Amino acid sequence: MESNRSFLLQLQILTKRMVLRVVRRPLAELPNIFISAFFLFVYDGALGDVFGGSVSGTPFDFANGNFVNFILPVSILSASLSGAASGIYLVEDIESGVFKRYQSMPISKWAIILAPMNVGAVKVLLQASLILLIGNIIGADPVVGAIGYLVVLSLAFIGGMGIAGYSVAAGVKSGSSQGAQAATFLFFPALFLAPTFVPREALKGWLQTAAAFNPTTYLIESMRSVLVEGWVIDVLLKGYLVGGIFAAITLFLAVTSARKATEKA
Amino acid sequence: MLAVDVKNINKIFANKQDTVEAVKDVSFQVNQGEIFGLLGPNGAGKSTTILMLTTLLSITKGSASILGLDVATNDKLVREKIGVALQDTGIDNLLTGRELFFTTCRLWGYSKKDSEKRTAELLELVGLMEAADRRVKTYSGGMKRRLDLGLSLVHSPEVLFLDEPTSGLDPGSRRVLWDEIKRLRDNGVTIILTTQYLEEADELADRIAIIDEGLVVAEGTSDQLKAGIGGDVITFSFENNDDLENAKNILKSTVQEKNELRITVKDGASKIPGYLKDLSSNGVEVSSVSASKPTLDDVFLQVTGYRLEGSEDIKKEEEKSKR
Ligand SMILES: Nc1ncnc2c1ncn2[C@@H]1O[C@H](COP(=O)(O)OP(=O)(O)OP(=O)(O)O)[C@@H](O)[C@H]1O
Ligand SMILES: [Mg+2]
């Protein structure tokens, strides 16, 4: 019995329980999926002809003839926002007293903290995959081939984990699940202080400056490179690097704040 | 070996604005197989004490051990031995009772098969078999309390901590839980429970510590505490205030409550005629008089100087439910 009670088993049991919680509230998943898919449809509908090159004589051919490819990263990153669920789930357990019960049992603190992170990660992967699928159906077609989708998914995952970490830290700090939820709204402006609709060079000066300091910019450009241009290694790597640093920082904050919450007052 | 040994524990909560000394100096010992009641009003420090003993809060000063294991230095081992049901139940509303038991069994290291078996046992034990596959959201307050108790029993703990296990329950549900707690004790489990109900302490606890403003102000069996009052309580009641005021001067050392005067003496019943003679010879009219053995209520009044609010309510509720 003793050896069974290993960390991995605990993590698995706690993750499973949390998945059950997600499954019991299917409607809670819809808004983010809907918004992400909606972005894809309306931006393509509104801007696709102008920037996609099918309106004759248009001077904007940065989308390389396929605007769905170009706009897809924005929808994908919007799907990555579902990673914020990690913080919300963790704080819900603190609010309900379930967290305290686990603390009174001989269970690894790490398992308690990591279970909601796991679920956040799975949500990001599922939502991003769904958006990729929709994108594919309405005409996305990575220049580098299908492997481009995997690159995009991996970048979405890194971004999603960054958001998950941020939500855990914000949630534990604010002490309420509403706090965790509210804090993630910060990411919506971040989605637009970036080369969202046109390449960075085409932005006005102030927005170009803001975009340069926004990690979202590098994730979008990195995804875009494989979708629109091909293997542009330095742009691609910059996405992984900036996304990785962002995720590392927020995950560090998440772990330190969550650990504090498990410590005795 | 003692089940619980608490030596002068103290808890100070310090934050930026102020510091609160929630527990000033609490000591008590609990023998194995005993129900020990911590009785006290709101804010007495009961929950804080429980949280310290269950390793969920650090102890500022003093020390405590469970089955010989120090709570501060051996917290992991202590957690293996104890079951805890806190004042705020830690229950996941989205899952069913069965799922909650199963998950908790798995976390305690039971195999899947054993978890299923243990889940069924516990559902039976706390009377939730019929509601087992309903989401906990739909459970009544009493069912949630029973579920919470059941969840603290998964690993058959040797020492069980229950923080106000029956608060907010109707008399019927309270009885059910009392019986359950007694049955656990009879099976050898040591139980430390807190309560603000005198009747609960009286009915359930083998020994009681009265705790007030972070201090233990009395301790013993219910009978010992009552005996400590030093006699019987004679209650005189009066129709008019002048009579009451006069009687106060005549009887000396009385305690007034509304239109009643109480006096504690040895062999109360035999002394009533003498008192009545004194009073009537001074022209004081007494509307009724009675002698009774002291209750925990009287003990509480004596050691704290006030009555425990809420204990009246439980009596009224009991009467209401009898009708
Ligand atoms: N985390 C905390 N920070 C500051 N003060 C606290 C904290 N927890 C408890 N207190 C204070 O300590 C005192 C004792 O609280 P405690 O919860 O132990 O009382 P209690 O006897 O359980 O009361 P109740 O019957 O209402 O549950 C109260 O004055 C309370 O305000
Ligand atoms: Mg309390």
Residue in B10, B11, B13 to alter for ligand 1 test, most ligand atoms within 8 A of Cβ: B13
> Searching chain A, which residue's CA lies closest to the CA of residue B74?
A106
Q: What pLDDT is recorded for position B170?
A: 85
Q: How confident is the model at residue B227, as a pLDDT?
A: 86
Q: Give the model's pLDDT for residue B165.
A: 92
What are the two backbone dihedrals, phi and then psi, of residue B236, each rounded to the nearest 5 degrees?
Answer: -105, 140
The answer to whether the Cβ–Cβ distance between B135 and A1 falls below 8 Å is no
Q: How far is A12 from chain B (nearest CA, A)?
A: 10
Radius of gyration of chain A (CA): 20
pLDDT at position B34: 96
pLDDT of residue B82: 97
Q: For B182-200, b where at least 16 C-beta lie within 10 A, e where not — what string? A: eebbeeebbbbbbbbbbbb
A81 against B315, higher pLDDT: A81
Q: Are A171 and A179 in contact (CB under 8 A)?
A: yes
Give the separation between CA B133 and CA A34, rounded to whole angstroms: 32
Residue of B nearest to A92 (CA): B92
Residue B79 is nearest to which of A2, A96, A106, comparing CB atoms? A106
- Residue B140 near chain A (CB below 8 Å): no
> Which pair of structure tokens corresponds to residue A125?
């992967």
Contacts of B88 in chain A (CB under 8 A): 97, 100
**How many A from CA of A88 to the centre of ligand 1?**
27
Pocket test for ligand 1, best of B48, B87, B194, B217 (most atoms within 8 A of CB): B48
Nearest CA to B247 out of B265, B266, B260 is that of B260
* β-sheet bridge partners, residue B35: B191
Mean pLDDT of A2-12: 75
Ranges of chain B whose pLDDT falls below 50: none
Q: Is B88 on the interface with A (CB under 8 A)?
A: yes
Per-residue pLDDT band at A180 (split at 50, 70, 90): confident
Pairing of strands B19-30, B190-195: unpaired
User: Does B57 contact chain A (CB < 8 Å)?
Assistant: yes
DSSP string over A17-80: HHHHHHHT-GGGGHHHHHHHHHHHHHHHHHHHHHHSS-STT-S--TTTT-HHHHHHHHHHHHHH
Closest residue of chain B to A8, computed from CA coordinates:
B107
Closest residue in B to A5 (Cα) is B109
Q: What is the DSSP letter of B136?
A: G
pLDDT tens-digit readout, A165-179: 999 999 888 888 888
Q: Is residue A260 within 8 angstroms of chain B, CB to CB?
A: no
For position A55, what pLDDT does the model report?
Answer: 63
Average pLDDT score over residue span A207-215: 94
ipTM of the complex: 0.83
Which of B9, B46, B167, B308 is the best mutation target for the ligand 1 pocket, counting ligand atoms within 8 Å of the beta carbon and taking the most?
B46
Q: How confident is the model at residue A1 (pLDDT cuts 50, 70, 90)?
A: very low
Task: Indicate the helix (H) or strand (E) that contains B200.
Answer: helix B198-204
Residue A3 pLDDT exceeds 50: no
**Ligand 1 centroid vs A133 CA: distance in angstroms?**
54
What's the confidence (pLDDT) of residue A92?
Answer: 92
As a whole number of Å, the CA-based R_g of chain B is: 23
pTM of the model: 0.85
In this prediction, residue A105 carries a pLDDT of 93
pLDDT of residue B312: 53
For residue A2, the chain B residues in CB contact (below 8 A) are 109
Instruction: Say if A26 is an interface residue toward chain B (CB within 8 Å).
Output: no
Residues 6+ apart with CB under 8 A from A227: A69, A70, A72, A73, A140, A142, A143, A148, A152
Q: φ, ψ for residue B5 (rounded to 5)?
A: -135, 110
pLDDT band per the 50, 70, 90 thresholds, residue A4: very low
